[in-house]
Amino acid sequence: MLKQIASVTEPVEILLLDDGSKDSFKELNRPLSALDHVIYEEMPQNIGRSAIRNELTARAKYEFLLFLDCDSTIENDEFLMNYLKFCEGDITIYGGREYGPQPEDRSFFLQWFYSVAKNGAPYDVRRQRQYHSFCTNNFVIAKRIVEELPFNDSLLTGWGHEDTLFAYSLKEEGYSIQHINNPIMHSGYVSNESFIAQMNQGLVNLYHIYQSGKFNSLVIDFKTTRYLRHLERLRMVGIIAWKYSIFEKFIMRNIRGNKPSLLLFDIYKLGYLCRIFISERRKQKQ
C-alpha cells in the first residue's frame, strides 16, 4: 500500500488501531508507527468490531475512507487507483475478495470452504444483490455517510453481522452500493473449531437483530431468519431445535470433515438459531 500511496497526488493516511490484541501482535505491529503516512495506536481494551470502525471514522482526516480487514493482502498494483477514480460525492463502493487454494491443513478447511461458496462471488454476480453481497472487509465510503449512519454496536457482541446492519442502514436511507472488480486476497484462516465458534456468535447476533423487530426487510432477505419467522408463526421452533439436537453430532461431523455439505451447514445455522430462540424465551419466563 505504501508503494501505491507514493504514486498518487491525493493526500493519504493509514490509520491502524489495535483493538485489544495479544501482546505478541502488538510487538509485531508497533514498528509500523515509524512509517510514513501511518498512524498506529493501541486501544486500552477491545471495544468491538462496530465501535472500532466508528472510532477510525472519527479520527480520519479526509473525505473518503477505505476500510480493509487485516487478514487480507493486496495483490493488484492498481488497487488504490481503482478506488480513487470513484471518489466523488456520496459513494459506497465494495471491491470484493478472493480466496487462494484450499489450506493444506484440513483443520483449517471449513472457513475456506464456506467462504469460497458464500463470499467469493465475482462482482457481476455481487452487483445483482448490492446490499446482500456487501461486506466490510474491503470498501470505500464517503466519511459523511458513516458519520450520519455509524456502525450499529447496540445489538451486537463479538463477531458477526455488523456489515449486515450497515448495509441495511444504507438501503433504508436510500444510499446505493456500487460493486467493482477490485478484490483483496483473504490470507488468514482460523481453525474449524474457531470458525464454528465465530459462526455461533454470529448467530447470537442474528437472533438479536431478528428479535429487535426493527429490521423486517433484512429478516425477510436472509434465508435463515426468514425460515425462523415461518417456524415461529407455525409454532415449530421448539420442534426444529429438538430435531437438530438429535442430528447435531452427525451434522457437525460432516461440516468438520473433508467434504462438508452446504445444505447441512445451512441446517446447522437454522437449528442453532432455533436453539438460541428457545433458550432466550426460557430466560424471559424465569
Task: Give per-residue pLDDT as tens, 175-227.
Answer: 999 999 999 999 888 999 999 999 999 899 889 888 887 777 677 677 888 99
Q: Are 158 and 101 in contact (CB under 8 A)?
A: no
The pTM score is 0.89
Task: Measure CA 119 to chain center.
Answer: 10
Q: Are 60 and 66 in contact (CB under 8 A)?
A: no
Q: What is the mean pLDDT of the chain?
A: 90
Give the C-alpha distances (Å, rounded to integers) separating 224 from 40, 156, 162, 210: 39, 17, 17, 10
Report the pLDDT averaged over residues 132-143.
93
Which residues, 6+ apart, have CB-to-CB distance to 121 below 8 Å? 96, 133
Structure-model confidence comparison of residues 155 and 98, the more confident one: 98
Position 21 scores a pLDDT of 80
Task: Give per-residue pLDDT as tens, 53-109.
Answer: 999 999 999 999 999 988 899 999 999 999 999 999 999 999 999 998 888 888 899
Q: State the Cα–Cα distance between residues 146 and 46, nearest whole angstrom.
A: 21
Residue 157 pLDDT class (50, 70, 90 cuts): low
Report the pLDDT averaged over residues 120-137.
87
Position 155 scores a pLDDT of 62
| DSSP-derived secondary structure letter, 103 | P
Position 212 scores a pLDDT of 83
Report the pLDDT averaged over residues 267-277.
95
Report the pLDDT averaged over residues 273-283.
91
Position 50 scores a pLDDT of 86
Position 175 scores a pLDDT of 95
Q: Catalogue all structural domains in the chain, each as residue range(s) with its CATH number.
A: 2-9+53-189 (3.90.550.10), 196-285 (no CATH)
Q: Are 73 and 187 in contact (CB under 8 A)?
A: yes
Rg (CA), the chain: 20
- pLDDT exceeds cutoff 90 at 237: yes
The percent of residues above 90 in pLDDT, for the chain, comes to 55
Position 173 scores a pLDDT of 92
- pLDDT exceeds cutoff 70 at 30: yes
Q: Are 57 and 146 in contact (CB under 8 A)?
A: yes
Which residues, 6+ apart, have CB-to-CB distance to 161 below 8 Å? 202, 205, 206, 209
Position 223 scores a pLDDT of 86
Residue 156 pLDDT class (50, 70, 90 cuts): low
- pLDDT exceeds cutoff 90 at 231: yes
Residue 165 pLDDT class (50, 70, 90 cuts): confident
Residue 165: closest CA among 17, 278, 54: 54
Report the pLDDT averaged over residues 136-163.
85
Q: Are 55 and 20 in contact (CB under 8 A)?
A: no
- pLDDT exceeds cutoff 70 at 158: no
